[in-house]
Structure 1
């Protein structure tokens, strides 16, 4: 099973990236196979055809499980993440990928943002999002146990579906 983390924070090496990596690691029992820290792709996100951006898109599209993370900006996900998601050329760009929307924020007022705002975009791109999105408080995600609780509740189903996606992608003799 191939696992990828996508972090759409305007700051490189952010808490968003850390939280997404922690979630992916707890879901699978190992670090993600690849990490896309979107902001490091630079100005190539503003157009089409940039080789680094295209490579990142292919990496995400070939994943079995992807954690897509953003801080909450103006009650939604970041423009940087939107620029990256716009690079998927078709509505089937994430077909066969199991996706987990993850957002961080300062308080509980935006707790529904992963499901109301990020999840629909991932579904529109063809991803399966069988579990609720996860909202974490940016000041306590590393210590409050929320990631562990989420993994305990939703991890078994996500792992089964991601393994099935991996099997579906495997070459057949």
Structure 2
């Protein structure tokens, strides 16, 4: 019998409990739903790391908080990685956390990148910047990166989950064997 899939979440917003976190949790739910539709069993509420909680430790010599958070996230089969768009890319906080990941940290994992921005002109940043970063860490990123305009974050969480689920379907996620072999 195979183990249930674990969907983890990493949020790179420097603001704790941010709208980006809410979008990431909606995407985690949409990913879990898509996997269940494929007949996969999914563990509810996989590991969640809000990088804002790690910010004081990111550059503290000898701190083990970031490494412990990365170890926790490494238990996920699918990892949602979300960030607000800062200066046409992801946040420095997210980059600083991921810079502490060992080479190949996401090998054998599937990553689903998500960027949130105030303007649609930033929609391509997820493809140009975040998706390659996750691939560099060894992740399989089989579909297009997802983008959410901040205006959509005012919607009910159920509406956002549906909208992100539609984006997953339209972008080719989980229609083929998208989850790396366990």
TM bucket (normalised to shorter chain) is 0.7 to 0.9
Name the counterpart of 1:108. 120
1:44 paired to 2:57: yes
Q: How many residues align?
A: 163
Q: C-alpha deviations, 1:114-172, integer Å up to 9, x for none?
A: 110001111011111001000100121444653131133344337x432x53xx2xxxx
Name the counterpart of 2:174. 156
Q: C-alpha deviations, 1:80-100, integer Å up to 9, x for none?
A: 10111101121x111011001
**Residue 47 of structure 1: CA displacement?**
4.7
Unpaired runs of 5+ residues, structure 2, are 34-41
Structure showing the higher helix proportion among its residues: 1
Name the counterpart of 1:171. none
- Choose from 124, 147, 150 the match for 1:138: 150
Task: Report 1:21-36 matches (<5 A).
Answer: 21-29=25-33, 31-36=44-49
The normalised TM-score by structure 1 is 0.85
Task: Report 1:3-152 matches (<5 A).
Answer: 3-29=7-33, 31-47=44-60, 49-90=62-103, 92-141=104-153, 142=155, 143=159, 146-152=163-169
RMSD: 1.9
The normalised TM-score by structure 2 is 0.81
Q: SS of the counterpart of 1:156?
A: coil
Q: C-alpha deviations, 1:35-64, integer Å up to 9, x for none?
A: 100010132211565232111111222310
Q: 2: distance between equivalents of 1:79 and 1:130?
A: 25
